Chains A and B, each alone.
Chain A
Amino acid sequence: MAEGNNIFKVEIITPDRVFYTGEADMIEFNTADGQIGVYKNHIPLTTVIEPGVVIIHDGEHQKVAAIHAGFAEILGEKVTLLAEMAEWPEEIDINRAEAAKERAEERISAKAATTDLKRAEFALHKALTRIDAAERK
């Protein structure tokens, strides 16, 4: 339950819009060093976000969103995620994501000299994140 003294502010900002502002008692997301969950009064931390699903827990409610690349600034009372892209599951076109996943996998397995492996892997990550988020709707 979101007790009065356990909640903190959460902001997710992308270049195009302020994606989400609200309160939560726990937030989970993917960082370069693995998945983390943040409660109130976390030590101040700036960390790099990896493509993944962010889960905002607010009492019994959960909000899920897909975020791709960016960084997070965690302060005791407030968590700010600066993401290059963020999407709610409702906004994700699952068919497109599946198609993108297949394309990326093909590119990686083909291993042609011309393919940019890093880019293909990034595209694959992005597609997988989208699918993951959409399935948790």
Chain B
Amino acid sequence: MASMRDIKRRKSSIQSTQQITKAMKLVSTVKLQKAKTRAEQTNPYFNYMYNTVSSMLARSGSINHPYLTAGDSDKKAVVVITSNRGLAGGYNSNVVKLVTDSEFKKEELDIYAVGGKGVEALSRRGYNIVEDASDIIESPTYQDAAELCEKVLSAFTRGEVGEIYLAYTHFKNTVSQEAKMIKLLPVEIDLEENAAQSNVLMNYEPNEEEALDMIIPKYVTSLFYGALVEAVASENGARMQAMDSATSNAEEMISDLSLKYNRARQGSITQELTEIIAGANAIS
């Protein structure tokens, strides 16, 4: 049996760990609230954008536009959104797994990474990281999203990549987040679903093609921005959960160790008593 001192030392070390995890949980709870409100404020813009683009495409389905057809290149750009900090449970590795477990070959992927953890994990596995924009995840603005989007889109229009994907963590609610990979370009929208709603005859100014030219990059940027904001909320949600279970695990270990400590203490008292009695018996 471990000595009393060892147990005591172990217990106090776990206690200080528990204090840290508790504090981290509180911090991420507060951050989560903020990120959640932001994500909710972004939603109307994104939804409207989606509806407009899908109703545009529903009516002009046959239009031959570069954004609507895959490029010739076999290469695919993947934008991977992770976090800069760890200790968030499976948050980062789930996103990385989406990329490594996908059917794409390593050689044909160009990674545009947001988030230091994703950069580390993917470059270690030998993926080609074209762009590392890790600082924008700290407080994503629409401007940041637009800048990154422009880089990816220009690679698409130059024909360097044929398709663009986005891997991020979708924020379902506070306790559940889901890593997701979506296709950004060429635009694929479920036309069946939208065709019914769009019976208004819409006019376009200057003309349909120019409007598409200008609206699709905005659509992609808004998807991008939405994903960034959701990823921040998901990160904090995941961290909150991870730290919550870490705290309760520590609690369990502490109570287990307390029991062991008390048993050891009682054992040493009993032993001492036996020794004294034995000594007294020997003298008399």
Instruction: Tell me the A residues contacting B by CB distance below 8 Å.
Output: 13-18, 31-33, 43-48, 70-71, 73, 75, 80, 82, 84-85
Contacts and interface: CB of A to CB of B under 8 A. Distances in A.
A85 B215 CA distance: 15
B211 A47 contact: yes
Q: How large is the interface on B (under 10, 10 to 19, 20 to 34, 35 or more residues)?
A: 20 to 34
Contacts of A17: 41
B44 A18 contact: yes
Contacts of A80: 48
Looking at chain A's contact residues, the main secondary structure is: strand
Given A13-B45, A71-B215, A82-B52, 15 more contacts: A15-B42, A16-B38, A44-B200, A45-B202, A45-B205, A46-B52, A46-B204, A46-B211, A48-B205, A48-B215, A70-B218, A75-B200, A82-B49, A84-B146, A85-B142
Contact of B202 (A13, A46, A85): A46
Interface of B: 38, 41-42, 44-46, 48-49, 52, 56, 142, 146, 200-206, 210-211, 214-215, 218, 222, 225
A-B pairs, 3 with minimum CB distance: A47-B205, A15-B142, A44-B202
A48 B209 CA distance: 12
A73 to B, nearest CB: 6
14 contacts: A15-B42, A15-B46, A16-B142, A32-B206, A32-B210, A44-B202, A45-B203, A46-B52, A46-B215, A47-B204, A47-B211, A75-B200, A82-B49, A85-B142
